[in-house]
């Protein structure tokens, strides 16, 4: 098992063809509170992953959960970060997956091009550690705001498509009503 990434909430390990996401303990929290929070967040993330996967959203397939060790085991998507290869076409593909997630009443809460992987010209969204089941339009708006700020700051040459993307989003919601 090889450590491949370390974030604020978890360590990500590669174990052959699987990713193991282990939520790490925070020493500044009371032990019982820390354990309860990590368990809650691990369960919620796994439940969201399973729900999205079952609804044909392109994400790594969730395989198992281990609440004793606060781990989620999922499929390893061998690809490249969207951030490194983004184009207009891939930007729109990513956005269509975001629309799909929102239509299922899930907010990601960290929609950046670092949290998407390209494999065989498909986009897989990753890192649902901050995600929530959420039907509030305000929270979906915050999700989109973070997305557009990421594009503006990291991929400014593509920010010119913001209005077109917003129109695509609005069209989706008009069709459902």
Chain segment 139-166, per-residue pLDDT in tens: 999 999 999 999 999 999 999 999 999 9
148 shares a domain with 102: yes
Predicted confidence at residue 157, as pLDDT, reads 96
Count of domains observed in the chain: 2
34 shares a domain with 85: no
- The whole-angstrom distance between residue 135's C-alpha and the CA centroid of its chain comes to 17
166 shares a domain with 114: yes
- The whole-angstrom distance between residue 23's C-alpha and the CA centroid of its chain comes to 16
Q: Using DSSP, state whether 134 is helix, strand or coil.
A: coil
Active-site annotation holds for 110: yes
Which domain covers residue 25, as residue numbers?
A: 2-75
169 shares a domain with 131: yes
- Point out the domain boundary residue: 60, 75, 90: 75
The CATH number linked to 138 is: 1.10.510.10
97 shares a domain with 24: no
- Tell me the pTM: 0.90
164 shares a domain with 145: yes
Least Cα distance to 94 among 129, 127, 118 occurs for 118
pLDDT per residue as tens digits for the range 123-135: 999 999 999 998 8
Active-site option among 54, 69, 84, 110: 110
% pLDDT > 70, the chain: 97
Least Cα distance to 7 among 33, 32, 36, 41 occurs for 41
* CB of 46 closer than 8 Å to CB of 66: no
pLDDT per residue as tens digits for the range 165-177: 999 998 877 645 4
pLDDT per residue as tens digits for the range 53-107: 999 999 999 999 999 999 999 999 999 999 999 999 999 999 999 999 999 999 9
52 shares a domain with 8: yes
């Amino acid at each position: 098992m090889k450590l491949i990434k370390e974030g604020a909430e978890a360590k990500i390990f590669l174990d052959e063809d699987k990713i193991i996401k282990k939520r790490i303990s925070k020493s500044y929290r009371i032990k019982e509170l820390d354990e309860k929070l990590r368990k809650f967040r691990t369960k919620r993330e796994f439940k969201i992953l399973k729900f999205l996967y079952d609804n044909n959203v392109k994400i790594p397939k969730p395989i198992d959960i281990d609440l004793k060790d606060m781990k989620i085991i999922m499929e390893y998507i061998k690809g490249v970060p969207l951030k490194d290869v983004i184009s207009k076409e891939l930007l729109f593909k990513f956005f269509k997956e975001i629309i799909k997630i929102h239509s299922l009443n899930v907010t990601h809460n960290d929609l950046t091009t670092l949290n998407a992987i390209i494999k065989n010209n498909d986009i897989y969204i990753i890192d649902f550690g901050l995600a929530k089941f959420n039907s509030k339009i305000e929270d979906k708006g915050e999700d989109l705001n973070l997305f557009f700020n990421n594009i503006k700051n990291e991929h400014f040459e593509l920010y010119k498509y913001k209005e077109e993307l917003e129109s695509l989003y609005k069209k989706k919601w008009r069709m459902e009503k």
